[in-house]
Chains A and B, each alone.
Chain A
Amino acid sequence: MKKWLTAIAASLVISTSLAGCGSDNADKASGTKDSAKNVKQELTLNAISEPPAIDPAMATDTTSGWVLDHIFEGLYKKDEKGNAVLGTAKDVKVSDDGKTYTFTLRDDAKWSDGTPVTAQDFEYAWKRVLNPETGSQFAFYLYYLKGAEDYNKGKGTVDNVGVTAKDDKTLVVELAAPLGYFKELLTMWTFYPVKKELVESNKSWAAEADGYVSNGPFKMAEWKHDSNVVVAKNENYYDNKKVNLTKVTWKMVPDATTYYQMYKTGELDAIQTLPTDVIDQEKNSKEYKNVPYFGTYMYMFNVKKAPFTNEKIRRAFNLALDRETLTKNVTKAGEIPAYSFVPSGVKTPDGDFRKDGGDYFKENAAEAKKLLKEGMEEEGWTTLPEVTLLYNTAENHKKIAEAVQEMYKKNLGVNIKLENQEWKTYLDTTATGNYQMARMGWIGVLLDPAVILDYYLGDSPNNRTGWVSEQYDSLMAQGKTAQDPKEHFKLMHDAEKVLMDELPFVPVYHYTNTYLTSSKFEGINYPYNRYPDVRYAKKVSE
């Protein structure tokens, strides 16, 4: 027993002295850094959670996409200004009918292992996405290719899919119909090439950093699951002179207060999605950024269930909200009140899609009350059927729902009930239409209105409202094939107008994202539909 006690005492002494050592070393290390003149080109970001799939075919989330966008490059890439420009392809020829694209790949396009990127790699990668056995959730983004949908749904063969490598450097792509935003689409990770030999020979090639091969500005260096992903500069990347950073690390810190404190101590160089309670104090800091995010927070109506079968009542519920108050006092992260479905961020020949289109309605409590009364008269109701607002269990959704409940009480004289369900149960409930009014958010992976508006297509699996409009569907179909951007955007505006006239939903606000970025870095871009792009970033001071 005595020995036992001495051992403990000894271990205590050791542990305290070790702790001392640890902090001493850290101080020394930072001391040498300060004196060093050349700046270490390393950047540490926070991915918040483990990317579920760093594989172009399997990724469906922006976290995986964030890493993928830095280690791969498609036929097109985004330049510093966010425009889609040729990437791995050096030339493209489009047929007169706009359906056939012939790409010539760059001669110096190489994989991170030094071997050339070939047209066969692209063909293989795209067909892999479409292969029903792959089970890619984003395969539908490739349905614009000829024969793709049939193959993915098991009705056609792989040979009929409109992507063919004519030789090592020539890729021919055939579309089912012309597509206005094909360039934009090609910058998406689902269209990235994968190295055919590698993926064919090793099914779990994308599970670890070891042996991982990519073709972008960076390459995988380390992946400690649930802890960090590290990428290093890819010397085989054709444009590597433009890449300054030698190393980018994504830590995975889920807790908002924790990552905020890690930013404050310099353990993280940039963070996104700040804890709401610090936004007020950081608002005026030079390091703070509030960037619109290409998505909309909304409440869907079930138009098959009373009282939202009535268009006037749906409109009344739209007009009775006070979105300004909601975003200022409840959500507080600079969200933009939404009076439309498509957020701003889409560049058009006239400027911005949202600014061209403007708002579709104005909030007005008196008008809302009047519409509610008219709607009830139309339906022959003396009292309004009880309304329950459903949301998935989360603190922020709860706060918003409670504010909305209060606003309907005040502005509309209606007492709605609130109910919440755990996420997967919630998805089940809403998919079966077992709700009256339910929360949902939608974020566009691509900066085109079609990607947002697709949500309410009659046959979209996301459309849980029961609202189907032939006019809307046909305007959307025409708008997508329109080659001329002006015509494309006009048809999109027309379609959005149909949606906003019938209002099967309540747009609440357009998302924004909040960022803190260390002033030691320059050249970080903040796209509207992705996390920050650091491909061209540079560290300017220690």
Chain B
Amino acid sequence: MYIIKRILMMLLTIWVIITLTFVIMKSIPGDPFASDANVLPDEVLANMRAKYHLDEPLPVQYVLYMKDLAQLDFGPSIKSETRSVNDIISDGIPVSSTLGIQALIIALVFGLMLGIIAALYHNRAIDFIAMMIAILGISVPSFILAPLLIKYFAVEWHMLPVASWGTWDHTILPSVALALSPLAVIARFMRSSMIDVMNQNYIKTADAKGLSTFKIVLKHGIRNAILPVITFIGPLAVTLITGTFVIEKIFAIPGLGKYFVDGIFNRDYPVIMGTTIFYSTVLVVILFLIDISYRLIDPRIKLSSGGN
């Protein structure tokens, strides 16, 4: 029952997003066919507008769009004449998600390790060092970090290629650049949560029982401390997997990230709609999965739709 209700709510959320995006998008001034070399005769322009149903009144356009969408057809891109929005998403998403997943793994592994170590050595030198790294990670923006990585690892030391896409080597620098800031955030979350947990009575009980510190941390500490991190991971994962504008631009990565921005600049209506719907769907689904995972991690949390 709970799951069905949640799914219905998800569909409603997505529908609201679609409708709002459609209305807001159409209210921005500008025209997809406008250019500084605007030499399209009015007669041809009328033809083009008709091709994309832009000559119809807005409610009709909306209905036509929803009809296509029901068949999972996002329509043709206006800017790249020959490609559909479905093509753009299906070409871009494997690339973006490869990068996103790698970055997520790096961020999680090192972020958690850093956070746990800092918490265990609370207020000692190791803690300060770990948190210095974390603050650096949060405050250095990726568009500074990425060129630095390129400068040393590619240009000076010739260890990795500068940019573009092809082999696994090409993915290393962008994954690291993408991972650093979430890594730092995860480390800080994990540290404070872990400090909190380690002061709980059940940890003291476990300690009194004679359990080794290693086992306490692993069995009781991490499991309880990780919940706030998981809440944070959901939206983070969606952002990383659907592609990021800056990193993809700097490393010339053929991902989806740039279409979120370029779509709007080009007034490429189908691209704006397609990317927004795609992003919000992934987000809503992942949030749902996270909710379910709480239950698996912490049995105290029950999946219920109301107060019962």
Contacts and interface: CB of A to CB of B under 8 A. Distances in A.
A255 B265 contact: no
B154 A461 contact: no
Interface in A118-158: 132-133, 135-140, 152-155
Contact of B158 (A133, A138, A265): A265
A462 B37 contact: yes
Given A135-B47, A137-B37, A462-B37, A58 B162 contact: no
B169 interface: yes
Contacts of B251: 258
Nearest to B214: A2
Nearest to B38: A461
Given A1-B218, A50-B80, A425-B29, A226 B43 contact: no
Interface residues of A, number: 63
A424 B168 contact: no
B125 interface: no
B47 to A, nearest CB: 5
Contacts of A258: 147, 150, 162-163, 250-252
B195 to A, nearest CB: 20
Interface in B89-138: 91-92, 105, 109
Interface residues of B, number: 61
A427 B165 contact: no
Interface stretch (A17-25, A91-99, A330-338, A519-527): A17-25
B58 interface: no
Contact of B34 (A133, A135, A428, A442): A428
A60 B81 CA distance: 11
B92 A226 contact: yes
A207 B77 CA distance: 12
A52 B79 contact: yes
Contacts of B254: 224-227, 252
A431 B38 contact: yes
B159 interface: yes
Contacts of B250: 255, 257-258
Chain B contact surface mostly: loop
Given A135-B51, A207-B82, A254-B249, A153 B162 contact: no
A429 B41 CA distance: 19
In the complex, which of the residues B82, B150, B166, B219 has the most CB atoms of chain A within 10 Å of its own CB atom?
B82
A204 interface: yes
Interface in B23-70: 28-32, 34-41, 43-44, 47-48, 51
A36 interface: no
A182 interface: no
B95 to A, nearest CB: 8
B265 A140 contact: no
Given A227-B165, A261-B151, A135 B44 contact: yes
B222 interface: yes
B188 interface: no
B34 A225 contact: no
A204 B47 CA distance: 19
B161 interface: yes
Interface in B229-261: 249-252, 254-255, 258
B37 to A, nearest CB: 7
A133 B45 CA distance: 10
Interface in B138-183: 147, 150-151, 154-155, 158-169, 172
B252 to A, nearest CB: 4
Given A251-B164, A255-B250, A427-B35, A137 B43 contact: no
Contacts of A207: 82-83, 87
B192 interface: no
Contacts of A442: 36
Contacts of B30: 422-425, 427-428
B266 interface: yes
A243 interface: no
A55 interface: yes
B24 to A, nearest CB: 15
Given A152-B44, A226-B92, A424-B30, A461 B39 contact: yes
B267 interface: yes
Contact of A265 (B48, B51, B87, B154): B154
A8 interface: yes
Which 6 pairs across A and B sit closest by C-beta, in order of nearness? A424-B30, A226-B254, A207-B82, A253-B252, A227-B254, A22-B169
26 contacts: A1-B223, A12-B109, A23-B169, A55-B82, A60-B35, A137-B35, A138-B39, A152-B41, A154-B43, A226-B258, A227-B252, A227-B254, A251-B164, A252-B252, A258-B251, A259-B252, A262-B163, A262-B164, A267-B163, A424-B31, A424-B267, A427-B34, A427-B38, A460-B39, A461-B39, A462-B39
Interface of A: 1-2, 8, 11-12, 18-19, 22-23, 26, 50, 52-53, 55, 58, 60, 132-133, 135-140, 152-155, 204, 206-207, 224-228, 251-255, 257-259, 261-262, 264-265, 267, 422-425, 427-429, 431, 440-442, 460-462
